[in-house]
Chain A
């Protein structure tokens, strides 16, 4: 019998890239230079594309579950969809869930801040995504492994681009250095959640998707430390403490993000381009 316990973990993976993609897309038309505006928009497009693949996979998984398995994940399903009387689709998951049903990392939903904040967050996230998806390549769910394989090629470019910008800002002017250091102080408390085990990882492991968070953390630290060294930045000594996103407990910013992102599908259900 197929195992469906990783449904929530797929949503977590999808939510991370959708929400970060949505945040980065706020820069469209507002980037500091045309080339960088386009770069960040391209990165957003990659992230939203990855989210789509993950939601489509989660929806397909749900549609083939028996009623017992469906009942176990019912609390994660979008309420408006239940009135549609049709199979679950990727857009239902992306646009019609309530805030508490989103399982993204808090770091992805924070407002875009200034350029330094956006850049450093992307660098943190891409370095994390690279290690995590490398582990997913080995998982039992071949569709998920395929999505990871596809995404990793894109992540390599995101990581390179954001790392170069962290270095440019850290090693740039007094002003750019001040801004990237501020971003560091604001973002660092949110990095702990990336490596904190929750029920999501336990459920995923039951389905044969085993993620070694400590291994991801070690590799992640190596990557970001190498960038920081070139940028002349130091890692804060404080212990990251912010968490809750993986359990659906979000910051005060999440509701506003969803209001904007979901407006169209809530006002015009099932609208398509």
Chain B
């Protein structure tokens, strides 16, 4: 059996990433799993039974029910393209952080009506009763207030805008 060299494997793995771009977060369907920053590694292995793709993903929250769906969607999308031997493993450390979300992903979130997580230099505050200043994704006002630390899913908090009066989700720092 003729094993492929490391360089060729790297090229092959590079072909997998654009396919993963087509897999969306089931809870926030405008974001791909690449935007979300949960794909840690894609490795191609040539074994005697053929080519195997190993994908390492990092869960966003410990109990996030979307992870099961995402794993299945990755598998289905790759089968569509003819890749049958797919191994998906979850890696907990280093823990996922919203810093891994792509800038493009943050823009897509805002356009979708969800305030994106704060950029890295702004520290997420854990002091009691402190409100982070979150910009309204609809009218860009900063006159907003926290309604609840926990929103429609584990990754979001619920805010209200005092200018346009709309309630909105904030993809909170993690």
Which chain A residues border B126 with CB–CB below 8 Å?
Answer: 156, 159-160
Binary contact track A146-169/B, C-beta < 8 Å → 1, others 0: 110111111011011101100100
Contacts of A157 in B (CB 8 A): 149-150, 172
Residues in chain A near residue B129, CB distance under 8 A: 164, 167
Residues 130-147 of chain A: 1 if any B CB is under 8 Å from the residue's CB, otherwise 0? 000000000000110111
Q: Are B94 and A149 in contact (CB under 8 A)?
A: yes
A185 contacts partner chain B, Cβ-Cβ < 8 Å: no
Q: Give the segment of A43-51, A90-98, A188-196 that binds chain B.
A: A43-51
Is the CB–CB distance between A46 and B63 below 8 Å? Answer: yes
Asked if A262 is an interface residue, CB under 8 A from chain B, the answer is: no
Name the interface residues of B132-174: CB closer than 8 Å to any CB of A: 147-154, 158, 172, 174
Closest to A48 in B: B63
CB within 8 Å: A-B pair count: 82
A219: interface (CB < 8 Å): no
Instruction: Pick out which of these stretches binds chain B: A32-40, A64-72, A105-113, A176-184.
Output: A32-40
* In the bound complex, CA of A267 to CA of B151 (Å): 34
Bound complex: CA A199 to CA B152 (Å)? 41
* B128 adjacent to A49 (CB under 8 Å): no
Docked CA distance A35–B158 (Å): 9
Q: Which residues of B contact A42 (CB under 8 A)?
A: 150, 153-154
Determine if B92 and A147 form an interchain contact, defined as CB atoms under 8 angstroms apart.
yes
- If A38-B150, A149-B93, A149-B95 touch, whether A46 touches B62 (CB-CB below 8 Å) is yes
Whether the Cβ atoms of B150 and A39 lie closer than 8 Å is yes
Contacting residues, chain B, for A49 (C-beta < 8 A): 59, 61-64
CA distance A45 to B27 in the complex (A): 15
Give CA–CA (A142, B147) in the complex, Å.
38
B96 neighbours in A (Cβ, 8 Å):
150
Find chain B residues with CB under 8 A from A50 CB. 62-63
- In whole angstroms, how far apart are the Cα atoms of A36 and B97 in the complex? 25
Given contacts A149-B93, A149-B94, A153-B174, whether A38 and B63 have CB atoms under 8 Å apart is no
Q: How far is the CA of A46 from the CA of B151 in the complex (A)?
A: 14
CA distance A149 to B148 in the complex (A): 24
Distance, CA A17 to CA B136, complexed state (A): 35
A225 neighbours in B (Cβ, 8 Å) = none
Minimum Cβ distance to chain B for residue A225 (Å) = 14
How many Å from the CB of B115 to the closest CB on chain A?
17
Assess the A36–B128 pair: CB atoms within 8 A. Answer: no
Could you give, for residues 81-112 of chain B, a 1 whenever the CB lies within 8 Å of some chain A CB and a 0 otherwise?
A: 00000000001111111000000000000000
Q: Which of A39, A52, A146, A161 contacts B63 (CB 8 A)?
A: A52
Q: In whole angstroms, how far apart are the Cα atoms of A227 and B152 in the complex?
A: 28
A230 at the interface (CB under 8 A from B): yes
Cross-interface CB contact of B149 among A145, A161, A227, cutoff 8 Å:
A161
Contact status A36-B63, CB under 8 Å = no
- For residue A46, which residues in chain B have a CB less than 8 angstroms away from its CB? 61-63, 154
Residues of A within 8 A of B (CB): 35-36, 38-39, 42-43, 45-50, 52-53, 142-143, 145-147, 149-154, 156-157, 159-161, 163-164, 167, 227, 230
Residues of B near any A CB (own CB < 8 A) = 59, 61-65, 91-97, 126, 128-129, 147-154, 158, 172, 174
Question: Given known contacts A35-B148, A53-B92, what 10 new A-B pairs fall within 8 Å (CB)?
Answer: A38-B148, A39-B150, A42-B153, A45-B61, A52-B63, A142-B93, A150-B62, A150-B92, A154-B61, A164-B128
| A-B CB proximity, top 3 nearest | A49-B63, A49-B62, A146-B93
Q: List 10 A-B contacts (CB under 8 A).
A: A38-B150, A45-B64, A46-B62, A49-B63, A50-B63, A150-B59, A159-B126, A160-B126, A164-B129, A167-B129
